[in-house]
Amino acid sequence: MYSGITLPDVHGNDSETLTFKSAVAHMTTNTAKSTATLAICDRRSGSDPIGAVNENNQTKISDYCTSLRTITNGTRLLWAQGWPPKEYILLVIRPEQAGTTRVDKVRYTYTRSWKHFHQQGSESGTVDITIHPSR
C-alpha cells in the first residue's frame, strides 16, 4: 500500500535539494507484521501524484513512479516550485500476514542545500492510515 505525503512549494522561483538524515513511520497497531517506510517517488511524466494506491492486477506503482527510493541517511529529494512535483514522499506499507496496521505519524530529518547555508530541520506529520490485509 502506498500513500502520498507531499511537501509545500519552495518559496521563490528556484529549487533546492534536501538531503535526508532519517525518515520514520510510527505504527500504533501492527498485527499484520508490516514494514512501514518512507520513499521518494520519481513521478512518471503525465501521471498525477499518488493519493493512495493498493497494488493489484490493474494498478501498479510503476504506473505513477519511474523509480521508488527508500529514504535512508543521504537520500536526496529535489524540492522544486510548482505542481505537480517531480519527486515527492510516499509512505510504503508492506504487510506480511492478515491483521491490522495503523500508522499515525511520520517524521524525517534533513539538511537543506548550500543556498540556505545547510540548515538542518525536522518535520513531523500526523497521518491516519489503517489497512486490514486479508492475506
Q: What is the torsion angle, in degrees rounded to the nearest 10, for the CA atoms of residue 24, residue 29, residue 32 and residue 38?
A: -20
Spatial contact of 38 and 18, defined as CB atoms under 8 Å apart = no
What are the tens digits of pLDDT across the range 116-134? 777 888 888 889 999 998 8
Residue carrying C-alpha cell 513521478? 43
Q: In the predicted model, is pLDDT for residue 9 greater than 60?
A: no
Residues 6 and 125: their CA atoms lie apart, in Å, by: 10
Residue 103: per-residue pLDDT: 96
Helix (H) or strand (E) holding 67: strand 65-70
Helix (H) or strand (E) holding 20: strand 16-30
Residue carrying C-alpha cell 514522499? 89
- Which positions ≥6 away from 78 have C-beta within 8 Å? 15, 16, 17, 86, 87
Closest CA to 91 of 133, 38, 51, 48: 38
What are the tens digits of pLDDT across the range 29-57? 999 999 999 999 998 888 888 777 777 66
Number of structural domains (the chain) is 1
**pTM of the predicted model as reported, rounded to 2 decimal places:** 0.85
Residue ranges making up the domain that contains 24: 2-131
